[in-house]
Amino acid sequence: MLDINTEIIGRKVIYLQEVESTNELAKKIAPQEEEGTIIVADIQRRGRGRKLRKWISPKGGLWMSVILKPNVHLVHITKLVFVSALAVVETLAEFGIEGKIKWPNDVLVNRKKICGILSEGKYSTDSVEYVVLGIGLNVNNEIPVDLLDVAISMKDVLGFRVPLVEVFRNLLEKLDKWYLRYLDGQYALILEEWKAYSAVIGKEVRIVGDNEEIIGTAVDVSDDGSLIIALKDGTLKKIYYGDVSLRFS
Ligand code: ADP
C-alpha cells in the first residue's frame, strides 16, 4: 500500500486519525511490539516536548513515533536522536529545504524550529528494553500565531503544500538507512555527518539550565552525545542532554 522500501523502520505502521500522544502510546505498546513499529497520527491532542512542554500537533503535520530495540551499550543511546535528526535533514533536502540541526533535539530552518525530536525509553546500564523516538515535523500544518517567531513549516518555507505521505515515506527510508548504520556501529560517521549539518558547532551559545547558565563556544559533540563548550577562559565543559535549552547568543 505505502510501498515503503525499508528493512526495519516501518515493518509495521499503526495509523490513527487522532491520539493523545504518539510517544505515550508507543511506550505503552513497546514491550509487545517488534522493533521498527511506527505510530503515526493526523492529530495529537496532547503532543509533548521535553519536560511535558506542549508540542502543537494539528492536522497537516507529521506526528510519529518509532519503537527501537537496539542491542547497544547505554552510552550509544543518545546518538539515536542524532540518527533521527540526520534522517529529517536528509528528508528536507529531498524537498529542497536546507535544515540545520540544533543540539540536542531540534531541526531548524532559518533559525526556526521545523522539527522536534523526543527520545524516551526503558533501559538499564547493561540492557536496553526499548527506545521510543518521537518525531514531530511541521509539514502543511498551520503554525499558531504565538509560535511564528520560533516555528516554521515545510509549506511556509516552500510556499506550497507538500504530499504528507511522500514526506513520511522518505523519512522512514532515511531513518532506516541511518539506523542500519547505527546498528553496524558506524558511530564516527554519524557524529561527522551530524556536525556537518549542525547549527551550533563553532557558534557562541548560551546553555540555560534550572540553576545555571553557561556561555561559550560550541566546539564539538562527544561519543556520548554531549555537547562540548569552550568557556571564555578556554576550559572545556561537557553539556549533557537533559533539561537544558540551547540559545544562540
Ligand atoms: P526546547 O526547544 O526548549 O528544548 P522542546 O524540545 O521541549 O523545547 O519543545 C517544546 C517547545 O517547542 C514548546 O515550548 C514550543 O515553544 C515549541 N513548539 C511547540 N509546538 C511546536 C511546533 N509544532 N513546531 C515548532 N515548535 C513548537
Mean pLDDT for the chain overall = 96
Atom of ligand 1 at shortest distance to CA of 153?
24
211 & 178 share domain = no
100 CA to centre of ligand 1 in angstroms: 16
Contact 204, 249 (CB under 8 A): yes
pTM of the model: 0.97
In a domain, 91, yes or no: yes
Task: Supply the angle between the helices 187-196 and 164-183 in degrees, to the nearest 10.
Answer: 140
- pLDDT at 226 exceeding the cut of 80: yes
Report whether pLDDT(244) > 90: no
Residue whose CA lies nearest to ligand 1 atom number 18: 55
Residues 190 and 216 reside in one and the same domain = no
Percent of the chain with pLDDT over 70: 100
Task: Check whether residue 178 and residue 242 sit in a common domain.
Answer: no
- Kindly state the average pLDDT of the residues 218-225: 95
Q: Is residue 112 part of a domain?
A: yes
Q: Based on the fold, state whether residues 161 and 179 are members of the same structural domain.
A: yes
- pLDDT score of 210: 85
CATH number for position 60 = 3.30.930.10
Closest CA to 20 of 84, 81, 63: 63
Residue 242 has pLDDT above 90, yes or no: no
Q: Residue 183 belongs to what domain range?
A: 13-196
Q: Which atom of ligand 1 is nearest to the CA of 118?
A: 6
> For the residues 21-26, what does the mean pLDDT come to?
98
Across the range 197-218, mean pLDDT stands at: 94
Q: What's the gap in Å between 117 CA and the centre of ligand 1?
A: 10
Check whether residue 216 and residue 188 sit in a common domain. no
Would 97 be classed as within a structural domain? yes
Domain shared by 188 and 125, yes or no: yes
**Which atom in ligand 1 lies closest to the alpha carbon of residue 117?**
6
| Interval 174-184 mean pLDDT | 98
Q: How far is the CA of 56 from the centre of ligand 1 (A)?
A: 8
pLDDT for 78-102, tens place per residue?
Answer: 999 999 999 999 999 999 999 999 9
- Amino acid identity of residue 104, one-letter, is P
Range name among 17-26, 46-55, 129-138, 169-178 with the lowest pLDDT average: 46-55
**If you average pLDDT over residues 224-232, what whole number do you get?**
96
Least confident of 12-16, 101-105, 124-128, 232-236: 124-128
Give the model confidence (pLDDT) of 26-73 as tens digits. Answer: 999 999 999 999 999 999 999 999 888 999 999 999 999 999 999 999
Q: Which residues line ligand 1 (CB under 6 A)?
A: 49-50, 53-56, 105-106, 113, 116, 136, 138, 147, 150-151, 245
pLDDT exceeds cutoff 80 at 1? no
Measured CA to CA, the distance from residue 154 to residue 134 in angstroms comes to 18
Report yes or no: 107 and 62 within 8 Å, Cβ to Cβ. no
- Does residue 163 fall inside a structural domain? yes
ipTM of the complex: 0.95
Which one of 179, 196, 213 terminates a domain?
A: 196
Alpha helices in the chain (DSSP H): 22-29, 79-94, 154-158, 164-183, 187-196
Which whole-number Å values give the CA distances from 231 to 36, 118, 172, 219, 246, in the listed order? 40, 28, 39, 10, 15
Q: How far is the CA of 165 from the centre of ligand 1 (A)?
A: 23
How many other C-beta atoms are found inside a 10 Å radius of the C-beta of residue 119? 23
Q: How many domains does the chain have?
A: 2
Nearest-atom number in ligand 1 for the CA of 141 is: 23
Query: Measured between alpha carbons, how far is residue 190 from residues 146, 187, 218, 228 in Å?
Result: 35, 5, 18, 17
